[in-house]
Structures are given as structure tokens and as C-alpha cells.
Structure 1
Amino acid sequence: MNPFEKIFNYRVISRMEDTGVFLSTSHERSWLKLMLGHPSAAEAFSGVTLDKLRSLVEQEEAMEIAEDLIHKAPATEVQVYHPLVRVLRRSIQHHQGIQVSFVLTNGQPGPEQSGLPYRLEYSMVKKEWYLLWYSWTRRDFMSIRLQKIAAVCEIPASPELVRTTQAEIQRILESRRQSVVIEVLPGYNKELSRILYAFSCFEKEVRYDEEKDTYFISLTYLGNEGEYVLSKMRFLGKRVRIVEGNWLKKRMRESALKALALYQASPDQTRPGQE
């Protein structure tokens, strides 16, 4: 097998995932060993998990980056890991309710609210953690930055309350969901992993058409995330094409026409070098 097959062969990866097998390269294991030596690793993982990860990479050599990277004129460092992540992750896994106190604009803690945590998300753009949760106090599904949480603690919740809340969360999410089908142009099949990484934060399914040698990505996203999906489509450029999803097609045409107008061009204008 091509040693770089892991990078772009989605079919091989998906079949191994179905059997519970995870592929890793020596480069990835060396990087993991280096990261486990960072002081924040002790906060990010429980003691048992941290010991197990370290034992798995014990025979690997830690990646040497001292001579390869130069750190110059850094901006204010942002801590990628937030101390509340472990607390909230445990509550989500155990289906426990939480009681939350938020930080007000004057810096003082506000009134407490109770609810059920649903999911943790990290914004690569804003470099912040967000909690998606259902507030029993407000009876609404909400998103809150972890930086705005002054304190959080677990509270008991009956199984019936948890089930009804989870059902309500799913109902709300279904009402907000949008879908689109994206075609990967065959000439860029080897970049499938890169393309999937661009949509890594969304629910997706990949279908391969053997006759056309073409991958189709069925993407599901919330309505307020449409512009973000659009930005990813622009980033990927000619590698992908929207085949289903009228709203996204319309927005892509609008943005393309605005760009052409900005540069005083027209859609049918002759390209440089063509007659």
C-alpha cells in the first residue's frame, strides 16, 4: 500500500472505523508524546486517561521542534483548553443537569440558571469554547461562551426530565437543520481528506459513485451556520461544487457576482490568454 494512502483514501479509513480500528503514523505518535508533556495536558485529561496515553507512546521518540520553529513577536497567548471543559464533558457523558452562574457585563456573577448540557464546541475563528445547552429556567436551547460562565456544578435530574429535555433539544435542532450535497470534482479526489477536514465540525456522509469516480458529501448544518459553510466553499474553490441546496447555491452566485463587480468583470468575460 502507498505509505500516504491514509491521507486521502476515505474508503479505507471508513471501513477500519467500522471495525473499531484507528490508524496512526509514527509522526502523529511523536507529536502526541510531545503534546502530553505540555503542562496543560494534566488539566485536559483525567489521571487514568493521561497515564494510558503516555504508556501507548512510551516507545516513541518525542518530536524535536526546537531547531525547526522560531517564536517571534507573539500575540497574547490564548489558552486552547478551558478548565470547565472536563467538568461539562463529564456532565454531558453522565446525562446530568447543571446549575450555571454567568458573568454580567459589570464583571459580577448573575442569577443562577439550571439546565441540561448538550455539546461542547470550539470555534477555530474566535479561539473560544462554547456550551450548547437547554435552559430549564428560560425553556430555550442556548449557546454560551465558557468565558461567560462564573461557576457551574452538577445537579440531580430525574431520568424522565432528561429524556423529555433531550427530545426537545432534538426537535429544536431538526427545525433548524439545513442540508446540502457537495460534489468533489474527480481531479481532486486525492485531496478528499483536506476537503473533509474543512467540514469537520459538521455532520456529514460520504458517498462514492464508482461509475463517475466521484465523491458526494451530504452535509448537515444549522441554519445560522450557512454563511460559515459558504466561506468554506469559497476556500476550497474549484475543488468542489454544490449540487443540492438552493439557498447555498443562490448565496454562492450572489457572492461571485459581487466579486466580479468589484473587479469590473462579467461572468462571460474572456479569460486572459483566451480569444
Structure 2
Amino acid sequence: MNPFEKIFNYQVINRLEDSGTFMVTAHERAWLKKMLDHPASTDAFTMDTKQKLLSILEKDQAMETADLVLEKGKSVEKQVYHPLLRSLRQYILNRNGIQISYQVKGDRVNTDHNGLPYKLEYSMIKREWYLLWYHLRHQAIMSTRLNKIITVSPEPISPRTVERAFAKISETLDSRKTEVVVEVCRGYHKELSRILYAFSCFEKTVEYDEPSNTYQIRISVFADEAEYLLSKIRFLGKRVRVLEGDYLKRRMLEASTKALERYNALSAEEELPL
């Protein structure tokens, strides 16, 4: 047994998170100190936060990348960071109302709509940030790309309206969710950290059954995210199997059946060249 295996044990990490402890390696600290020198760090952090991080990392050596990293020419990429992230996050934490103007299809602009911001979401497929917010007039949940937002500003809102809106949002979102249970096959328990990382963008809980020595990952997923979850399960291959979730089980069975048929037909009808 690897004597350092417990460092990466899920239960240990989970308990540390519950106590507010976050494990950071020396390599990660060196990387963070290097990244704080980047001009974009001024937009990503408030001045107080940046100064606090620099004081914590004062004794650490910044990572030297000049001789290690060579960036090749590539097409233009969408940036992960967006200037509105910090202000929107503060509105969400403080439960502020907002007045928002945003662009819709046909280059039309909806101006000065009142709402309540609920959550920031990042699409791994489209590589874009979305704001999930509640439209107070239409009483509907909206999802707006941050790059389509023209202006957004805080707007006073009563605590009663906030509570009513959040209750409506929770009720609507819960009705759209479905649960999938994925079991980690026994021979791959040592890769649990890697498997959990593959599902890191999903809302999930992990259960360990001691008598059977099995880990089960219970994942909450929206209908439009099912295909993306399916791609993650396919990527993990024989490390996991779907226990609950009729749609995913059926799709995995279809893909496996087609693959077997393809290779059986190939071996029966053709001889591969030696």
C-alpha cells in the first residue's frame, strides 16, 4: 500500500473542507505567486485580497516559467475570466436586486429589466459564463450570457421579495433535475481523486459503503447536461458504471452494443493485414 495514499483519501479531504481547511502544495503556492504578477490579477482580485495573498506567499519562491513553458501559435481563445464576475458575485452574496440590460437574438436589446441574481454558471462546452437570474416582472428564471449583458447595476429589493423569488427558483430548478448514481469499480479506488475531478463541475455527493467496500457518486444533473455527463462517463471507461439513471444506462448500452457489432463484423468479414 502506498504510505501517502491517505493524503488523497476522499474522506480526509472532505473532513478538512468541512473544517475550513484547504490543502495547498508548494508547487501550487509557487504557481499562485507567479500568477499574481500577471496584470489580469488586478481585475480578478480586490486590492485587499491580492495584498493578503502576497503576504501569505512572501516566503515562497515564485515559479520560474521562462525556461519551462513555450506557447505555440494558436487560434484566438475565449477568456475564462469576465469583468462582470466580481460585481455579480457580490450582488449574489449580498442578495441585491439588479437592473439589467442585455442583448437578445436579432441584435435587439432589452433595457432596464429588474431581477434577482441567483447563480453564476460556466459552460464547459461553450466556454462561456452565464448568469442565472429571476425576472421579477415575468416571474421566470432567465439564463443570460455575460458577454450579452450591456449594463447591470444594483437595485433595492425587499427581503420578502427575495425570499419569495429564491423559493420559486429552488422549486423550478429541483423539478428540472434528475439524479444519476455512478459506482466506482473496486479495482479503481486508488483513482478516486481522478474520477471525482472528472465530475467536479456537477453537483454531487459521495457515499462509501464499508461492508461492500464501494464508493457511489450521486450526481444531480439537468436534462441539457446529460450528454456532457455521458461524455465524462465514457472517458472514465471501465473505472465506473451507472447504477441509476435510465437514460444514461440506455445510451451506454447502445454505444457498447454498436462498438461490439462493429468489431465482430470486421473480424468475421475481413482479415486484418499482418
The TM-score normalised by the length of structure 1 is 0.90
Residue 184 (str. 1) matches residue 184 (str. 2): yes
CA distance, structure 1, for counterparts of residue 264 and residue 147 of structure 2? 45
1:155-184 deviations in Å (ceiling 9; x for gaps): 000000000000000000110110011100
How big is the shift at 1:123? 2.1
Q: Which residue of 2 aligns with 1:199?
A: 199
How big is the shift at 1:120? 0.6
Residues 105, 203 of structure 1: CA spacing in aligned structure 2 closer, same or farther, 3 A cutoff?
A: closer
Q: Which residue of 2 aligns with 1:150?
A: 150
Amino acid at match of 1:177: K
Residue 242 (str. 1) matches residue 248 (str. 2): no
How big is the shift at 1:264? 5.1
Q: Which residue of 2 aligns with 1:101?
A: 101
Q: Which residue of 2 aligns with 1:69?
A: 69
CA distance, structure 2, for counterparts of residue 110 and residue 164 of structure 1? 24
CA distance, structure 2, for counterparts of residue 20 and residue 173 of structure 1? 28
How many residues were matched structurally?
265
1:35-60 deviations in Å (ceiling 9; x for gaps): 21111111111111111111111111
Percent of paired sites with the same residue? 50
How big is the shift at 1:107? 5.0
How big is the shift at 1:106? 5.9
Q: Which residue of 1 aligns with 2:60?
A: 60
Map 1:10-49 to 2 at 5 A.
Answer: 10-49=10-49
How big is the shift at 1:5? 4.2
Helix, strand or coil: the match of 1:79? coil
The TM-score normalised by the length of structure 2 is 0.90
Helix, strand or coil: the match of 2:72? coil
Helix, strand or coil: the match of 2:20? coil
Deviates more, 1:174-183 or 1:250-259: 250-259
1:14-34 deviations in Å (ceiling 9; x for gaps): 111222211111111111111
Q: Which residue of 2 aligns with 1:82?
A: 82
How big is the shift at 1:252? 1.7
CA distance, structure 2, for counterparts of residue 209 and residue 110 of structure 1? 52
Amino acid at match of 2:80: V
Amino acid at match of 1:52: K
Amino acid at match of 1:117: P
Amino acid at match of 1:155: E
CA distance, structure 2, for counterparts of residue 166 and residue 253 of structure 1? 39
Q: Which runs of 5+ in 2 are unaligned?
A: 269-274
Q: Which residue of 2 aligns with 1:118?
A: 118
CA distance, structure 2, for counterparts of residue 81 and residue 166 of structure 1? 27
Q: Which residue of 2 aligns with 1:228?
A: 228
CA distance, structure 2, for counterparts of residue 186 and residue 80 of structure 1? 36
